[in-house]
Structure 1
Amino acid sequence: MRFHVVRWWCMLCLLPVNMLVHAQSPKRYNVLVLFTDDQRFNTIRALGNQEIHTPNIDQLVKSGTTFTQAHIMGSLGGAVCAPSRAMLLTGRTVFQVHRDGGLIPATEKTFPEMFREQGYRTFATGKWHSDFASFNRSFANGDNIFMGGMHQEKTGGHLTPRLHHYDSSGKYNNAFTGNQFSSVYYADAAIRFLQEPQQQPFLMYVSFTAPHDPRTPPAEYLSRYDTSRISLPGNFLPRHPFDNGELTVRDEQLLPVPREPGSVKQEIAKYYAMISEVDHEIGRVLQALRESGQYDNTIIVFAGDNGLAVGQHGLLGKQNLYDHSMRVPLIFCGPGIPANRQTDAYCYLSDVFSTLCDITGIPQPATVSGQSLNKAFTQPAFKGRPRLFMSYANLQRAIVKDNMKLIIYNVDGAHPVQLFNLSKDPLEKHNLAPEKSYQKKVAALRAQLYADMHAYGDFCDPAKKSWGFPGRLKWEDALRIHP
């Protein structure tokens, strides 16, 4: 017995040191997050949209696993991207993020913050729609940082972005005005970072502000889109069929009502051109990653923060719960992630936090509510979440289960109901709610929706008249819901 123990010990000593280290700890993969602004789920050529040009995102689709049923949970107000980004960063739900995403307190860590604490070099460029302090806790460095929601048209929009260099004091009161398109600045900062020697694993967050309006794409990209060849959406309407509570929000005023088909096609062309422009800059970042020698050791996440109507259902914006506004692109690429795979498992953008922790072995804080998607990379039958819950202000609530979607409204005492069979009616054109044969389905989904409202800590109470909020939620009130 003693001889076997000595023999085993001698064999163990002969093993290469790197094999022993690998057996004791998970691989320290780099992480690159590529995030776009207002890009809906079906604006990628490789996923079926033959009118758009996205060669670099297409390559990510072919290289990785795409979640075709990734959603956001909604928001308390019109700036849907703020809570969406906060939910991605913290892994928390729409009613758990603070000031509708405007604040991430020190008690709730972001995933870059967790990786930084675990020895990763963290870097960011692009849009940050929360408080300055949480940015500096999350990232040890950065450049060409946009602190805000959108590039205002009155100050030149994307063509003259107001940006910041990294400020170790966290004050960010010395903005500079750029003279190139916003995406170029973000890609340039990312490329410079990748060209630096990497002595430790890194996490880089590249958060583009395109294709968010003002939609002013460079001419070289707009010239690729002939409006005469742009298809009008199959669910195009001149106006929304009823008051959803947000028909006069800023986004909906970008074109007059009733919507004119030619104007909508022009808007779609500009939207697609903006996406092609950001796709080009994503390609530059990916090329720099390859040239750095780190590509094969990097987990890449590509996602959008929310969708956009751009003429569908008579709407232009994202202040609604239809698929065009709530579904987002989500792609994972990298070591151990199957290539050219698509899964229709239900998931949220907020599940990215847990997934990255699972892949890299980074501990997940107790404040995270998301669920890891890591099993989707090893189990072809992975189902994800059993259902989805979505909300907007105090005006709209929705549930999706087994490809059936119920939306209930709360607008000035009126409660319109919509039911869609998403497998047969993906454009959400045929409302089944009034039909007698679907009343049991409406009742069952309504009961589940009300239960989920309670489970998620919804500030609206369906048992009360007008859910306890008879008018449109004021912004001051929204900020007090979870300060």
Structure 2
Amino acid sequence: MFYAGPGQVTAGKPYTAAQKRVMRYVYQQRIEAAQSVDRAVAGTIAHLKSSGQYRRTVIIFSGDNGYTTGHHNRQGKLWETSQSMRIPLVMVGPGVPKNIKVGSAVGNPDIATTVAALGRATPGRAQDGVDITRVLVSSVKAGKTLYRPIPVAAWPTLGGTTSKYRGIRYGRYTYITVTATGVPVLYDRAVDPYETRNLAGDRRYAKVVAQLKVIEAKYRSCSGSTCPKTYAGTLATPSPG
């Protein structure tokens, strides 16, 4: 990662016209690849229906990372911005509330916990995640988006034992520390939805950074019961001025 100035995050020079053409072409190919997945899913659902299994099957769609194609002058899937981190998750089936959409964040460990709960199975080890169906029900009952801290980290794709960054995504904030430089990065999506300003050094966010540092340290190496499980708590807000 490359950082320029306390309020600007970048990853290199702007792309040339030729590079942009290549990115558009690759992006189009990825859309076409996704359409092939759509057709495969349609075939699977048709088979479930014809075999009488559809109404007793839970289907979960998600992914591990989003792919950045030119956003923030970057390529790849291991960045701290929403293009990499904010992946839609869709569930349908028995036990899943119908026709609702919530903004509560979940993580990949939650999928395993959810599958076990829906299957009424007892996991053989302590679970890092929570049952997503309960999150959906709780959000609907509360009439608002509920938040819990989600630990985040990125590791080299070709191996290695040193992370690229570690941090936390919590409500409106993403807070990370770049491992190689120790540089902190804070995004406040409430005022900067495109995540273009690093606010970690902004004095108005001193209390926010202090709170997120404590929370990140608490859950950095969590496992089982020590991982964040509740959607509660009050987030600090920036000072006026």
Q: TM-score, normalised by structure 1?
A: 0.39
For 2:211 and 2:137, how far apart are their aligned partners in 1?
33
Cross-structure match for 2:185: 418
Relative distance call for 1:387 and 1:381 in structure 2 (3 A) is: farther
Counterpart amino acid of 1:391?
A
| Closer/same/farther in 2, CA of residues 402 and 273 from structure 1, 3 Å limit | same
- 1:447 partner amino acid: V
Aligned to 1:390: 152
- Equivalent residue in structure 2 for 1:429, among 196, 200, 222: 196
1:283-340 deviations in Å (ceiling 9; x for gaps): 1211222222211121111121221111112221112222211222221111232222
Q: Secondary structure at the match of 1:406?
A: strand
User: Match for residue 93 of structure 2?
Assistant: 334
- Spell out the pairing of 1:77-226 with structure 2 (5 A cutoff): none
Give the gaps of 5 or more residues in structure 1. Answer: 1-239, 244-251, 458-483
What percentage of aligned pairs have identical amino acids?
23
What is the TM-score of this pair, normalised by structure 2? 0.74
Q: In the TM superposition, what whole-angstrom CA distance separates every residue of 1:7-59 from its partner, at most 9, and x where no partner exists?
A: xxxxxxxxxxxxxxxxxxxxxxxxxxxxxxxxxxxxxxxxxxxxxxxxxxxxx
Alignment of 1:307-456 (within 5 A): 307-379=66-138, 380-381=140-141, 386-393=148-155, 394-411=163-180, 414-455=181-222
Q: 1:329 to 1:445 in 2, by over 3 A?
A: same
1: CA distance, partners of 2:95 / 2:127: 24
Residue 348 of structure 1 deviates from its aligned partner by 0.9
Q: Secondary structure at the match of 2:72?
A: coil
- Give the whole-Å Cα distance in 1 for the aligned partners of 2:102 and 2:171: 15
The match for 1:285 among 44, 47, 53 is 44
Check conservation: 1:347, 1:385, Cα contact below 8 A.
no
Residue 3 of structure 2 aligns with an amino acid whose one-letter code is F
Give the root-mean-square deviation of aligned CA atoms.
2.7
Aligned to 1:295: 54
The residue aligned with 1:242 is 3
1 CA distance for matches of 2:31 and 2:118?
A: 33
| Residue matched to 1:265 | 24
What are structure 2's unaligned runs of at least 5 residues?
5-10, 156-162, 225-241
For the residues of structure 2 that align with 1:418 and 1:356, how far apart are their CA atoms?
34
Kept after mapping to 2: 8 A contact 1:388/1:400:
yes
Question: Deviations for 1:103-155, whole angstroms, at most 9, x for unmatched residues?
Answer: xxxxxxxxxxxxxxxxxxxxxxxxxxxxxxxxxxxxxxxxxxxxxxxxxxxxx
C-alpha separation between the residues in 2 aligned to 1:269 and 1:389?
32
Higher RCO structure (Cα 8 Å, ≥6 apart): 1
Give the whole-Å Cα distance in 2 for the aligned partners of 1:303 and 1:364: 22
Partner of residue 60, structure 1: none
- Structure 1 residues 417, 265: closer, same or farther in 2, change over 3 A? same
Q: SS of the counterpart of 2:123?
A: coil
Rg larger in structure: 1
CA–CA separation in structure 2 for the residues paired with 1:418 and 1:328: 21
Q: Count the aligned residue pairs.
A: 205
